[in-house]
Amino acid sequence: MKCEGENMPEFSVIVPVYKVEKYLDRCICSILNQTFSDFELILIDDGSPDNSGAICDQYAAKDNRVRVIHKENGGVSTARNAGLESAQGTFIVFVDSDDEVEENYLECMRGYDADLVIAGIKNYSTDGSLHHAISLPQKKVEKLSKNLIRKLQ
């Protein structure tokens, strides 16, 4: 925990990691190469049996914004909760370990007076071709309501 007065990162990016060694480099690089750099990256190795945990440790050794938590496998929710317990940022961002984010992902989330910010997604096939995209209106602000939650499901 940081002491009062110390600089806290604006964002804590939490990535649960389990059996994703094939995609993990791409995910981590997309986060570390953000145009906005005031963030910490928390990688939670959820007892992954492959080399995912070692890959996480390699990035932590190279970049002081990266922290790794190794834990017994408990599923994505327990991994995210472990990340939340460790997070020091003002805002929390969840990224799945098989995802890749745009270089301005964090920059675009700044400046909202909101409790929740949702970004659009692009789903690519394994051959790299765009499979599906969901675009959201730019800077549309809605009150959190049951109706909005239904729209998101």
Domain ranges (residues) in the chain: 11-112
Q: 11-112 architecture in CATH?
A: Alpha-Beta Complex (3.90)
pTM to 2 decimals?
Answer: 0.83
Question: Which residues touch 22 (CB under 8 Å, ≥6 apart)?
Answer: none
Angle 94-32-127 (CA atoms, 0-180°, nearest 5)?
A: 80
Query: What pLDDT, in 10s, does the model give residues 97-141?
Result: 998 898 999 998 888 777 777 777 777 777 777 777 777 666 555
Query: What pLDDT, in 10s, does the model give residues 32-89?
Result: 999 999 999 999 999 999 999 999 999 999 999 999 999 999 999 999 999 999 999 9
